[in-house]
Every structure is written in C-alpha cells, then in structure tokens.
Structure 1
C-alpha cells in the first residue's frame, strides 16, 4: 500500500453516534501499520469500521435504523471517575431516547487495553456481552448502562419498576488465540451480527454459538473491508 498522506481526517456524523454536533477523528499511518501487523487496535480503527458498518446497513438492510451504534470513545470512559460515569450515563440515555426503534445497539468497549462488545436490545430489555478473551472483569459498565436504560424508560413515560431492568447474558463467541486480536474480533462480531440481521436472524444465540477462534480468512476479511472503506471514502 502506498500512502500519500500520514493523517486522514474522518468525520463521525452526529446522526450515527448521537452527538450534539459532528466530530472529527484522525486515522494515522501508524494506525494502518498496526492493522497490517495485527497489533492492538486503538479506538480510531474501531470507529472507522463502525462507519463502514453504518454505510453497509444503509445500503443493504431494509429498515437500517433497527441497528444503531454508540461511540466507543465515550463508553470506554467508564471507570472510577464519578463525573465521567455520569456523563456516559447521560450520553447513553439521550442516545437510546433518539433511537427508539433500534432493535440492537452495538457498543464496543475498551477496558484495560482489551476490547469487548456490548449488545443492547432495548425493545426486549436484554443486553449481551461478548468477550474475545473470557475472564472475570469489572462489571461497573453493567450498572451504569442499567441506570441509563432506566432513565430512558422514565423519559418515555414508563413507570419504573423491577420489570424495567435489562436482563444481561454472556454470549458464547469465538475466542482470540493470542493477546492482541481483541479489536479484530470485536469488529468481526459486529460484522457477523449485521449480516445475520440482513438475513433476518434475530435469535442472538445463533449469532456465534461457538468459542472456536476465527480463521485467518475471517479476520483478514475484516482488515480488507476496513482498508477498502478508508481508501474509498477518505483517501
């Protein structure tokens, strides 16, 4: 690949990530080199792939508004800072209120240099957690997203009660073989989910159903789609 620029400006539309205004991120030559080397991916790489998925949904999926995305930069601020946590809750609550018809909401989440995927299903009050390297983790994000969901339901005129809670489940999903593949696996999870939705497969337990690692070809497909989207839309 021959690069003519070291930095690519990528606009994140407010309508996709539910910002107040559009935001700009930067994809650098180093980001691209990391992708080529299968190194750990930073958030800009994940966001760029989410932009590809959004475009794919608009072109391929009838009623594409049933799939929505939350910004991983904002979500990944969840931690020990109470003020930041409150900002994340407010962002999620406002976003859910704007995407009232969304069947699934894809939420990549980075914690301690490891990417996982949260799948919110607000219409059926369910949430799923996909971890490419399953182990016991801090579950602060569950309580915060639960609070945001209850706030969203209250704004819709629902009476808050125990039945308004999200039901959380861990999905059995492909497991990474090494230490740096988590970002690629999360991108592949999202790609598989979008494709299943395109085929009207809404049984979440059928999205993966195995812990077997992705093949080299399945991971390479994600990298190729990422590269093609960048070169086609931002080069």
Structure 2
C-alpha cells in the first residue's frame, strides 16, 4: 500500500519491484481523513468532518468488451495531464464511444512506458 506520506521514488521502486516479481497490482483510490469509518478508527471527530459530495457523471460507453481498461487509462491520462480538480460535470457528460484514434494513442503511450520500464531493469 502506498499513500501520500511516501516519496515518489519510494512508490515507484515498490511498484516496479512488485511488477517484476509478477505480483498483481491493483490501483484503488482512497480518501484518507474524509471517510467517517477512517476517522472513527483513528479516534477523530466525525461531527467536524466535511461531507463527501457525490457527483453523478456520464461516461463514454465502450463498443467492445475488451476496451474498459483503455477507457479508464484514457480518462486517467486526460485528468492528470489537464490538472482537472473541478467541473467534472462538464467534462464527463458524454456517453458516445471514445474515438478509435484516441484509444490508439493510449495503447501506444502504455506500450512505450512498458518498454522503457523493461529496458531500465
């Protein structure tokens, strides 16, 4: 498990080691300090905690059954590169499929990254 207290180099080394050992790696988001259960476990007041605001978003629908990972990577790359922090409703408001050209860019970026990672070992 990695969290915000780890340094980037430590996280990268840990994930690279797990990847090299053939371990399954799962990336799950976590909102530390904002969830009532987490706060209760650490003895913090839940009355002063901010409530989470859930936003109902629309997302692109894939055409075939094997594209879901590429759709997730497409939006992860888009969010990170564009520094999205708000306005989710305006960005996630389409149900049309992502263009094949855009998915190919995601596949190429992932392949390039994996080749670089393999060559650096």
In the superposition, the TM-score normalised over structure 2's length comes to 0.66
- The answer to which structure, 1 or 2, has the higher relative contact order (CA under 8 A, 6+ apart) is 2
**Post-superposition offset of 1:166:** 2.4
- Distance 1:27-1:194 versus aligned 2 partners, 3 A rule: farther
Alignment of 1:65-214 (within 5 A): 71-72=26-27, 75=28, 92=30, 96=32, 149-154=35-40, 155=42, 157=44, 159-161=45-47, 164-197=50-83, 202-214=86-98
**Post-superposition offset of 1:163:** 6.2
**Post-superposition offset of 1:181:** 1.0
Rounded to whole Å, the distance in 2 between the matches of 1:26 and 1:220 is: 26
Rounded to whole Å, the distance in 2 between the matches of 1:166 and 1:189 is: 22
How many pairs align?
111
Alignment of 1:33-52 (within 5 A): none
Structure 2: which 5+ runs fail to align? Answer: none
1:217 maps to what in 2?
101
Give the number of the structure whose residues are more often strand, by fraction.
1
Paired residue secondary structure (1:22): helix
Paired residue secondary structure (1:188): helix
Structure 1: which 5+ runs fail to align? Answer: 1-11, 29-42, 48-70, 76-91, 98-121, 123-148
**Post-superposition offset of 1:212:** 1.2
Conservation of the 8 A alpha-carbon contact between 1:173 and 1:211: yes
Conservation of the 8 A alpha-carbon contact between 1:185 and 1:219: yes
